[in-house]
Amino acid sequence: MPNMIPLYKPQNTIGAEVLDAIREVLESGWLTMGPKTLKFEEAFADYIECKYGVATDSCTSALYLALDGLGIKAGSTVVVPVNTFVATANVVRWLGAEVLFCDVGVDGELDAAKLEPLLEENDNIKCVIPVHLYGFPCDMKEISQLLKKKGVKMVEDCAQSVGAMVNDKKVGSFGDAGCFSFYATKNITTGEGGMLVTSSEEVKDRALLVRNHGQNKTPKEKFTHWRYDVTDLGFNFRMSEIEAAIGLKQMEKLELITDSRKEIAKRYKEELEKIDGLKMLHDPETNNDRQGVFHLLEVKVEEQYPLKRDALYDFLKNKGIATGVHYPPLHMFSYYEKTTKYRKGDFPQAESLYAKILSLPMFPFMTELEFETIINALKEGAQTR
């Protein structure tokens, strides 16, 4: 088997340019919750155009902090699209709240038309989490109008969508809070890490408290005088100074990375249009008001293609090309089968999409050889009978 073409390639996103920044942190002796973290929080919040940023150890932690800051607790109900990574729903459960699943549209994103009846039928809904999946933004105009009308809070899950925009407004700035991931495979990475952005001082202050064990002083403030109090329960959701330093360097490359991903998506479109039965889930050229950043490159494997989705997955694997399936609908996981009323058939659009969707390799600065190898394999699969 030839060398595997991976689904992701973090080494194309991050490289030796971060080494001096890491060395500077190590030599400073300040390894957590220091000046690099503050600078990264400010820079990222400015980029999203929110007042505050709170750096965390993951997007999952950021989601927890955002919901907690909005008062989500036992007795609350939160709407989550059924097509998302499981962390979006898990944090709702960890807060003791009930999760209500909503079906998606043909693009895999939260569908405002399906959300509206849920809001009409459930007076206990306190928050909705639109997930900007695959690097593509939801229809925020429709969703925002619905939630404003009902007085329901919004936390945006932007784990895959840093830099995505709706009418030139960045995702993460539409709701009461936005949450981002800097996991190893994301468009920019700190290895592990996340960020909560908000323009609410109350949400920010609560997040800062809970992020650091409920302590009312930061390490720097303790240095001035050791005495401190613990005013509430909290966790260690902190980001390290090394991760923050890497994040600052990554932000310098963000636009270059995004432009590369968009260009690769356009090339995929040109080639896939020549292959009957493979259709990109998101068009990089026609969604002018919703501008994606192509964290994932999703195709639907239609009936015209001779190989079904799982067979194409195996075919490409044997050719040395990694692919993936993002995601099984949440109600199909055994935990949610056991703990909710939902059953197979309840979310027809998400289930239909799950049966067909395949993630092709997508990473910035893909070589011509890598791209041609992928396309040639897909064309070869189209000749299989």
Is 10-250 a domain of CATH 3.60.10.10?
no
287 — pLDDT class (breaks 50, 70, 90): low
The number of beta carbons lying within 10 Å of the beta carbon of residue 168 is 7
The type of residue at 376 is N
Residue 363 tokens, joined: 């990473």
pLDDT of 2 higher than 60: no
Beta bridge partners of residue 77, listed in sequence order? 98, 125
Q: What is the phi/psi pair of residue 355, to 5°?
A: -70, -20
For residues 354 and 329, is the Cβ–Cβ distance under 8 A?
A: yes
- Element of type H or E holding 323: none
Task: Determine the pLDDT at residue 226.
Answer: 86
83-106 pLDDT, tens digit per residue, is: 999 999 999 999 999 999 999 999
19-59 pLDDT, tens digit per residue, is: 999 999 999 999 999 999 999 999 999 999 999 999 999 99
Q: What is the phi/psi pair of residue 344, to 5°?
A: -55, 135
Residue 365's contacts (CB-CB under 8 Å, 6 or more residues apart) are: 12, 260
Burial of 274 (0-12, 13-18, 19+ CB in 10 A): exposed
- Report the candidate in 140, 175, 141, 174 with the shortest Cα–Cα distance to residue 155: 175
Domains of the chain: which residue ranges?
10-250, 254-382
The number of beta carbons lying within 10 Å of the beta carbon of residue 372 is 11
Rounded CA gap, 56 and 74, in Å?
Answer: 24
Rounded CA gap, 64 and 69, in Å?
Answer: 8
351-363 pLDDT, tens digit per residue, is: 999 999 999 999 9
CA angle 340, 325, 330 (to 5 degrees): 10
Q: What value does the CA radius of gyration of the chain take, rounded to a whole number of Å?
A: 21
- Report the candidate in 287, 282, 284, 285 with the shortest Cα–Cα distance to residue 141: 287
Query: What pTM does this model have?
Result: 0.97
Q: What is the phi/psi pair of residue 15, to 5°?
A: -150, -155
Alpha helical stretches, state H, the chain: 19-28, 35-48, 59-69, 87-94, 112-121, 140-150, 201-211, 219-224, 241-272, 309-318, 334-339, 348-356, 368-382
Identify the residue whose tokens are 């902090």.
65
100-138 pLDDT, tens digit per residue, is: 999 999 999 999 999 999 999 999 999 999 999 999 999
- Per-state percent for the chain, helix, strand, coil, to nearest 5: 45, 15, 40
DSSP for 20-70?
HHHHHHHHHT--BSSHHHHHHHHHHHHHHT-SEEEEES-HHHHHHHHHHHT
Rounded CA gap, 212 and 218, in Å?
Answer: 8
For residues 185 and 204, is the Cβ–Cβ distance under 8 A?
A: no
When pLDDT is averaged across residues 198-207 and rounded to a whole number, the result is 98
1 — pLDDT class (breaks 50, 70, 90): very low
Q: Kindly state which CATH superfamily the domain 254-382 is placed in.
A: Aspartate Aminotransferase, domain 1 (3.90.1150.10)
